[in-house]
Structure 1
Amino acid sequence: MVADTRPGTQRETLPLFPLQTVLLPGTPMPLHIFEPRYRQLTVDLITGTVPHRLFGIVAMRTPLVQEVDELDHVHTIGCAARLREAKRLPDGRYDLVASGTRRFLLHDVDATAAPYLMGTVTWLDDLPVPADAEDASWRLADLARAAHRRYCDVAWPDDGWRAPAADTDPVELAYRLAADCVLPLHDQQALLEERLPLRRLRTVCRLLNRESGFLSRLRAIPASLSEMDDGDGSATKPSLN
């Protein structure tokens, strides 16, 4: 991963949600909100107090941390999320749907500036794909799609999975394929941090082939979303507590 830390790069502030998961650009994430400070952030997102309904999701480095208040507690490459849907429940909790937009480099965190955690970030974009590599990118996309089919055929045989649209840009394809799959957090984070699109496609192809091989040999499949649901839908959603 190559981070742009050049002096003079414009910095911005974002509210932060530290989670035990990784949000990838272009992918949705359901969230179940029940702690008061995150309820307040939800209100601020809905009312426009937080501009553009944007907040940042960063993965925690260890589940042993109970309260994130230092930069070392989280991975410093995260993904901005835009609030798409919000449903207030009778007891004041919220069910949200957000979608990943743009990656950022996190420079510092502040637990005192607002009722919720704030971070100073600079935006992190891909490095350009060379003009003569366009054909290679589509060939890699075909290989990655084949790996995705193998994984889903083993992991979700009865769940009616669907492949990303045929015209999905290879630059974004790796994220869409990975979002369908149960990958360890460190693999998700590596995909998020990779700024070379062709290398990202190769990585997701390798990961999906590895995981489908594991599942085939173990004769096991990941739990389906319906099996993970505890009856009110909350078990399928990262919770902010």
Structure 2
Amino acid sequence: MTERLPLFPLGSVLFPGLVLPLHVFEERYRRLVADLEAQPEDVPRRFGVVAIRDGQEVAPVRDTDEPAGAADGFGPDPVRALHTVGCVAEVASAQARPDGRFELIATGTTRFRLLSVDASGPYLVGKVEELPETEGPGAGALAAGVVQAFRRYQKRLAGARESTLAAEQELPDDPRVLSYLVAAASVLEVADRQRLLAAADTTERLAVELELLRRETAVLSRLPSLPAWELTRAAVNPN
């Protein structure tokens, strides 16, 4: 089943269950949020977040008085500038500023595949199909391995010694929820995060995470210790 969703391209990847704060200042995305806010209260305010492909032109920052076309900055074929697997975001709160900007809080819900893009309006609108969530064989065993690898990775990230462990945070038992939490909490390049989002099932995502966590832990073990907040702090996503 397909549907049409307004699109919000970003230089980052949104995962199901992840909270996404956005400072919306560009005119086309202000229009997008305003249109969502104008919907009846019982209609979910949903839009699609898609990551911009590495090496593609990013929509330029413009003065608020200068309107941007829907496809400005994405070339003649916006589909080629965007990754084809994205995540539906549902607006939790939208605070309008006096100058027309918005402070937005949204939550990732379900994954979708981008089939085509309509650039005829004030912002991009995608024709998308929802991607099913399947577990796959062996997810439980892989999840146990990912938990161990993630804890080692966190300790390296925080500069802690293996022998001096602080109280460990609880991780979910559900392999799918775990796979998305680890994907969101790990400091990875957009290409790696996109690979995790697009995984065929939970088993594949956990297997890729195990590979990435081992790689990143090995890299961190060769670097001087840094406080975790130095590596993980992230600014609010601009549009």
TM-score when scaled to structure 1? 0.80
Partner of 1:77: 85
Please give the alpha-carbon distance, in whole angstroms, between the structure 1 residues aligned to 2:183 and 2:199. 13
Partner of 2:140: 138
1:106 maps onto 2:114 in alignment? yes
Structure 2 gaps of 5+ residues are: 60-72, 161-165
Please give the alpha-carbon distance, in whole angstroms, between the structure 2 residues aligned to 1:116 and 1:239. 16
Greater shift, 139-148 or 14-23, is seen at 139-148
> How far off its partner does 1:111 sit?
1.3
> How far off its partner does 1:49 sit?
6.4
1:191 maps onto 2:196 in alignment? yes
Please give the alpha-carbon distance, in whole angstroms, between the structure 2 residues aligned to 1:173 and 1:138. 10
Of all paired residues, the percent bearing the same amino acid is: 40
Question: Given the alignment, which residue of 29, 49, 68 partners 1:57?
Answer: 49
1:34-82, CA deviations, whole angstroms, 9 ceiling, x for partnerless residues?
0112112112222326941110011111354131252111111111111
- Structure 2 SS opposite 1:52: coil
1:87 maps onto 2:88 in alignment? no
Partner of 1:11: 2
Please give the alpha-carbon distance, in whole angstroms, between the structure 2 residues aligned to 1:94 and 1:126. 32
1:155 maps onto 2:157 in alignment? yes
Partner of 1:30: 21
Please give the alpha-carbon distance, in whole angstroms, between the structure 2 residues aligned to 1:222 and 1:187. 23
| Distance verdict in 2 for CA 1:127–1:227, change over 3 Å | closer
2:16 maps to amino acid: P
Please give the alpha-carbon distance, in whole angstroms, between the structure 2 residues aligned to 1:86 and 1:162. 34
TM-score when scaled to structure 2? 0.80
Partner of 2:238: 239
1:120 maps to amino acid: K
1:180 maps onto 2:190 in alignment? no
Please give the alpha-carbon distance, in whole angstroms, between the structure 2 residues aligned to 1:173 and 1:183. 16
Q: How many residues align?
A: 217
Structure 1 gaps of 5+ residues are: 1-9, 229-234
> How far off its partner does 1:27 sit?
1.3
> How far off its partner does 1:154 sit?
2.2
| Alpha-carbon contact 1:20-1:63 (below 8 Å) kept | no
